[in-house]
Chain A
């Protein structure tokens, strides 16, 4: 299985600021995924991050709000821009293990005041 780490594990931010979340995979993967889990809710896909191309965003998510970088096959970042309290969530990255089975990082718990 893929081993995935995320930084930071949690943060408390002020309204209007931005936070960049890092995701590192222990093996090279073509696709990485970013999900959001709002309090008491399930996971919602934000975007798919492919190495060497622009990220693909799901309906309701835009690049200006959630810019994503994918500089190599083991690393990706998600930035939450111009934050508001509604962005308070757990942000999770995931990657497949070479099959179509996805494994998740430990998540970043974000609180926006």
Chain B
């Protein structure tokens, strides 16, 4: 079974700090990985995608992928209270574009 694992948290960081969210995956065949943000009662919203080993930066967000270690992470710099949400890590499954999701990490940014 293809699994994506995340620490459920909650992860609490003070405003302005760096939040680090981590994810591991079991399917070595997965090539594409995604981070989604989900506010309570809302649907997932794409934050970042990453396909190659290394870092990918977009504004305050940096995604990191290490395929040898089967590890994906998301760093949020200068965290804001509005970043408080559940962050879902997803890897592309063998069903084409369908995604395997982790259980999500709850992030709380305190003022």
Residues of A in contact with B (beta carbons under 8 Å apart): 1, 31, 33, 41-45, 48, 56, 58, 90, 92, 96, 100-107
* Chain B 95-111 interface residues, beta-carbon cutoff 8 Å to A: 95-104
Interface flags for B66-83 (1: CB within 8 Å of A; 0: not) read 000000000000000000
Closest to B36 in A: A104
A96–B43 touching, CB < 8 Å: no
- Which chain A residue has the least Cβ–Cβ distance from B102? A42
Report if A48-B96 is in contact (Cβ < 8 Å); known contacts: A42-B88, A42-B104, A106-B42: yes
Whether the Cβ atoms of B99 and A45 lie closer than 8 Å is: yes
Q: Which residues of B contact A42 (CB under 8 A)?
A: 88, 101-104
How far apart sit A43 and B90, CA to CA, in the bound complex (Å)?
10
Q: How distant is the Cα of A109 from the Cα of B58 in the complex, in angstroms?
A: 32
Report the separation of the CA atoms of residues A83 and B100 in the bound assembly, to the nearest whole angstrom.
25
Contact across chains for A107 and B43 when beta carbons are under 8 A apart: yes
CA of A19 to CA of B88, assembled, Å: 28
Within 8 A of A (CB), among B12-44: 32, 34, 36, 42-44
Which residues of A have CB within 8 Å of B93? Answer: 45
Chain B nearest CB, measured from A73 CB (Å):
15
Contact present for B42 and A101 (CB under 8 Å): no
A-B contacts besides A42-B101, A100-B49, 12 pairs, CB < 8 Å: A31-B97, A33-B98, A43-B44, A45-B95, A48-B95, A56-B95, A90-B43, A92-B43, A92-B44, A100-B92, A105-B43, A106-B43
Closest to B41 in A: A109
Interface contact A31-B96, CB-CB below 8 Å = yes
- Which residues of chain B come closer than 8 Å to A31, judged between CB atoms? 96-97
Say yes or no: B98 contacts A48, CB within 8 Å: yes
